[in-house]
Structure 1
Amino acid sequence: MASIQYYDVILKPLVTEKSMAGMAEKRYCFLVHPEANKTMIKEAVEKMFAGAKVKSVNTMNRPTKTKRRGMTVGQTAKSKKAIVQLTADSKEIEIFQGL
């Protein structure tokens, strides 16, 4: 595995109805690098967002799906989703403020 820097760990925020409802409890969802572990995700969130203190990180691997287009068969890319819980005294993440 190549060394992954903290700015390569978080790919993009995941905006769904369920993730928006979790923001009330300071719970944020991100799509992350498939090779990243929980420690890397925690460090990346604390470095990228000033004042954020991570309480816990839960991760889920989303497997590939087989897709067809006529006779051609392929697979989608695998991905990983992380749910980050911030502490009560932590600042909120500004990316989600305007949503």
Structure 2
Amino acid sequence: MRADQVIIEPVLSEKSNIAREGETKKYTFKVHKDSNKFQIMAAIKELFQVEPVKCNVMIVKGKPKYSRGKGGNILGNTGDWKKAVVTLAKGDTIQAIEGV
């Protein structure tokens, strides 16, 4: 799996922004479901030229969604996805995400 297939997009939420601005630089990414910690760390190193120290991976369960449409109530779920929290070495930052 190529590095650009492993990392799908950064997660830019209030919680992830607080973790990113702390003393330990922690960046949160939405990653491919079949990727593991070692593939994620290698992809971060290749794409952003920084040294990842640690990687925590978790599955985020989908949320239920309800809609009142023209044909009646529609019940469904959003999909599950995989999230990775990557801790960088001291002094490293990812410039592509810092400007957002």
TM range, smaller chain:
0.7 to 0.9
Question: Which residue does the alignment assign to 1:85?
Answer: 87
Write the letter of the residue equivalent to 1:79.
W
Q: Distance in 1 between matches of 2:97 and 2:48?
A: 12
- The aligned amino acid for 1:57 is C
Pairing of 1:46-57 with structure 2 (within 5 A): 46-50=45-49, 52-57=50-55
CA distance in 1, matches of 2:16, 2:94: 13
C-alpha deviation, 1:48, in angstroms: 0.2
**Percent of pairs identical after alignment?**
31
Which of the two has higher C-alpha Rg?
2
Runs of 4+ in 1 over 4 A off after TM superposition: none
Distance in 2, matches of 1:21 and 1:36, equals 26
Q: What is the CA distance between 1:61 and its match in structure 2? A: 0.5
**Structure 1: tracts of 5 or more residues without a match:** none
What 5-or-longer segments of structure 2 have no aligned partner? Answer: none
Q: Secondary structure at the match of 1:11?
A: strand
* CA RMSD of superposed structures (Å): 1.5
Aligned equivalent of 1:17: 14
Mapped to 2, the partners of 1:96 and 1:8 lie a distance apart of: 18
**Counterpart amino acid of 1:13?**
P
- Which residue matches 2:27? 28
Normalised by the length of structure 1, the TM-score is: 0.83
Structure 2 residue 67 is the aligned partner of structure 1 residue 69 = yes
- TM-score between both structures, scaled by the size of structure 2: 0.83
Displacement of 1:10 after TM fit?
0.8
Q: Which residue of 2 aligns with 1:6?
A: 3
